[in-house]
Amino acid sequence: MSTLVMKFGGASVGAAPALAQVLKIIAREADQWDKVLVVVSALDGVTDMLLDAAQLARIANQRGYRRIAANLRSRHFAIMEELPLDRSERDTLEADIDQLLSEMLDHCLQIAGSLNVELSPLNSDAVVAVGERLSARIIAALLRQNGLRSAAVDGTDVLVTDDVFGNANPDLHLTARRVDQVIKPMLQRDIIPIVTGFIGATAQGETTTLGRGGTDYTASVLGALLEADELWLWTDVDGMMSADPRELANARVIPTLTYAEAADLAYFGARILHARMIAPLAQRALPLRIKNIAAPEKTGTLVSGAAPPDKPIIKAVTSTQGLSLRRPASGSLAGVTRLVGNTLFKTLGMRSEVLIASQSSNGSFLCLVIPTSIGIDGVDRLEQALKAKMAEYPEKMPWAIEAIGLVTAIGADLHCAPQLLAQALEALADLEIYGLALGASNSSLTLALPLQSSREALQRIHELIVKSG
Ligand code: ASP
Ligand code: MG
């Protein structure tokens, strides 16, 4: 019995021509595999619009969030108009879309009516979850219209998560039971479930989201629990790249990665994968392919349990942001680490790791990775929150905080290749480096640098990759 799980991101489902391609791919793979399950994101840009709506609701700007609901309605209706759907599919879909948008408006009204000055992630999750519920219904209708048995499934009925709203984690044990109850009977009846990515619910039934880009994570959890043979992520690039192609034009596709390499790539800034999605795959040795929806014949990138090459190589370089904390004296790091951890959790609903901690007789230095999934303003928000918190204890916390750049070289077994590490450092000879760390899985070397030199460092390390063949 062969099972394939496929995930389609927002760009793949964002317009009618792209949806035609999604349909073609699903139809073809449904022929090749015994069972196919599909996980989808909201249409391109929709999650951002919903987050804006929740923010507008917070300041009780009713016109603002109503306008967003109206835009969402016309965007989804326009896509539907372009699809070859018959009258009855169209009528049901229109009713579903209106129903979901009215639920969204109810949640906004609730936020507007509450006295909270801050928007709680609990409230914004309920609004944001509507995006995936809309797109999943459109795709299921399109499949049915083309003779495939299919039904939309809400992740809230399947993924049971903790209550870290905005960045929740599925409980694999509880979710497995739901997979047995909801998903497996559908697969047995040859129905292709179109599951909403990114969203889940607590055991009490409150809607949660898994962090930005969380559709990947949904797909990996479901793939693992279904003991699927493969998981394919369809994106708009040819695979995982040696660097972000928007930053470096000569970035190229990486044919194969180990799980540890892929996990470090995602954790240290490659936005193409959700950072926590690799663990469930690695545990079950479930191979992951990343493929270009516009060029399905290309092999893309394969992430698997295959052994890395004997001779370590640097395969990719990424950059992300971090925070550094510095004080002009040696002192205990435990207190400040706790304070930073708690503030991060309160401000952004997530934990972060101390990447580098160093001390000398006349100074202490700490460096933290800021998870990419918090979005662009997350670093600022955290920096402000930390400064405010530390100002409460001026004597105990004389730390200077600075946003910094983290540039990471990815390659398995880097700890066995000092000559490779030397090459990377040599390439950065004239740049100031605050600190460096080997990743716990020995698949990455991260350098902490001033923000303004991180791009230069990224470029130079990428040159090494290009030169090496
Ligand atoms: N729609 C969500 C987001 O924009 C989840 C995803 O696309 O994976 O972050
Ligand atoms: Mg993504």
Res 219: pLDDT: 98
Q: Determine the Cα–Cα distance for residues 395 and 384; give it in Å rounded to an integer.
A: 19
Dist. CA 167 → ligand 2 center (Å): 15
pLDDT tens column, 327-346: 888 877 888 888 888 888 77
Same domain? For 195 and 78 the reply is yes
Res 148: pLDDT: 98
| Total domains in the fold of the chain | 2
Res 358: pLDDT: 86
Res 127: pLDDT: 97
Same domain? For 357 and 449 the reply is yes
Lowest mean pLDDT among 161-170, 172-181, 215-224: 161-170
Dist. CA 11 → ligand 2 center (Å): 9
Measured by CA distance, the residue closest to atom 4 of ligand 1 is: 47
CA nearest to 386, candidates 432, 344, 435, 328: 344
Least distant ligand from the CA of 39: 1
Same domain? For 347 and 452 the reply is yes
Measured by CA distance, the residue closest to atom 9 of ligand 1 is: 212
Q: Is 262 part of any domain?
A: no
Same domain? For 228 and 328 the reply is no
Could you give the percent of the chain with pLDDT greater than 90?
73
Same domain? For 335 and 220 the reply is no
Q: Where among 236, 266, 288 does a domain terminate? A: 236
Res 388: pLDDT: 87
Same domain? For 342 and 208 the reply is no
Q: Is 322 part of any domain?
A: yes
Q: Is 272 part of any domain?
A: no
Q: Is 297 part of any domain?
A: no
Q: Where among 172, 206, 236 does a domain terminate? A: 236
Q: Is the pLDDT of residue 303 over 90?
A: yes
Measured by CA distance, the residue closest to atom 8 of ligand 1 is: 213
Structure tokens at 161: 């998560």
Band of pLDDT at residue 376, cut at 50, 70 and 90 = low
Q: Is 456 part of any domain?
A: yes
> CA 344: distance to chain centroid?
18
Q: Is 287 part of any domain?
A: no
Res 146: pLDDT: 96
If one residue of 195, 212, 376 were mutated to test the ligand 1 pocket, choosing by the most ligand atoms within 8 A of its CB, it would be 212
Same domain? For 210 and 119 the reply is yes
Q: Determine the Cα–Cα distance for residues 215 and 195; give it in Å rounded to an integer.
A: 10
Mean pLDDT of 225-232: 98
pLDDT tens column, 67-87: 999 999 999 999 999 999 999
Distance linking the first and last C-alpha atoms of the chain? 40
Q: Determine the Cα–Cα distance for residues 423 and 411; give it in Å rounded to an integer.
A: 14
pLDDT tens column, 448-458: 999 999 999 99
- Indicate the average pLDDT of the chain: 93
**Alpha helices (runs of H) in 240-353, residue ranges in sequence order:** 259-267, 278-284, 334-348
Res 254: pLDDT: 97
Q: Is the pLDDT of residue 169 over 90?
A: yes
pLDDT tens column, 256-269: 999 999 999 998 98
Q: Is the pLDDT of residue 373 over 70?
A: no
Backbone angles phi, psi at 356, to 5 degrees: -135, 130
Q: Determine the Cα–Cα distance for residues 90 and 87; give it in Å rounded to an integer.
A: 5
Higher pLDDT, 370 or 218: 218
Mean pLDDT of 143-153: 97
Q: Which domain holds residue 108?
A: 3-236
Q: Is 367 part of any domain?
A: yes
Dist. CA 27 → ligand 1 center (Å): 24
Same domain? For 332 and 184 the reply is no
Same domain? For 363 and 226 the reply is no
Q: Is 374 part of any domain?
A: yes
Residue 73 bridge partners (DSSP): none
Structure tokens at 359: 């001390």
Res 359: pLDDT: 87
Q: Determine the Cα–Cα distance for residues 231 and 7; give it in Å rounded to an integer.
A: 8
Atom of ligand 1 nearest to the CA of 216: 8
Band of pLDDT at residue 386, cut at 50, 70 and 90 = confident
Same domain? For 230 and 320 the reply is no
Q: Is the pLDDT of residue 107 over 80?
A: yes
Mean pLDDT of 219-230: 98
Q: Determine the Cα–Cα distance for residues 287 and 362; give it in Å rounded to an integer.
A: 49
Q: Is the pLDDT of residue 375 over 70?
A: no
Mean pLDDT of 442-447: 95
Q: Is the pLDDT of residue 468 over 80?
A: yes
Q: Is the pLDDT of residue 374 over 80?
A: no
Q: Residues with Cβ within 6 A of ligand 1?
A: 9-10, 41-42, 47, 131, 197-198, 212-215
Strand order in the sheet with 199-202: 160-161, 199-202, 207-209
Q: Is the pLDDT of residue 160 over 80?
A: yes
Q: Residue 31 belongs to a domain with what CATH number?
A: 3.40.1160.10
* Greatest Cα-to-Cα distance within the chain, rounded to the nearest angstrom: 77
Measured by CA distance, the residue closest to atom 6 of ligand 1 is: 213
Q: Determine the Cα–Cα distance for residues 288 and 261; give it in Å rounded to an integer.
A: 13
Res 89: pLDDT: 95
Same domain? For 86 and 184 the reply is yes
Mean pLDDT of 267-290: 93
Mean pLDDT of 320-329: 88
Same domain? For 228 and 323 the reply is no
Q: Where among 212, 236, 260 does a domain terminate? A: 236
Q: Is the pLDDT of residue 195 over 70?
A: yes
Lowest mean pLDDT among 344-353, 361-370, 396-405, 433-442: 344-353
Measured CA to CA in angstroms, residue 208 lies from 53, 177, 442, 469 at distances of: 17, 18, 33, 45
Q: Is the pLDDT of residue 272 over 90?
A: no
Q: Is the pLDDT of residue 280 over 80?
A: yes
Res 362: pLDDT: 84
Q: Residue 422 belongs to a domain with what CATH number?
A: 3.30.2130.10
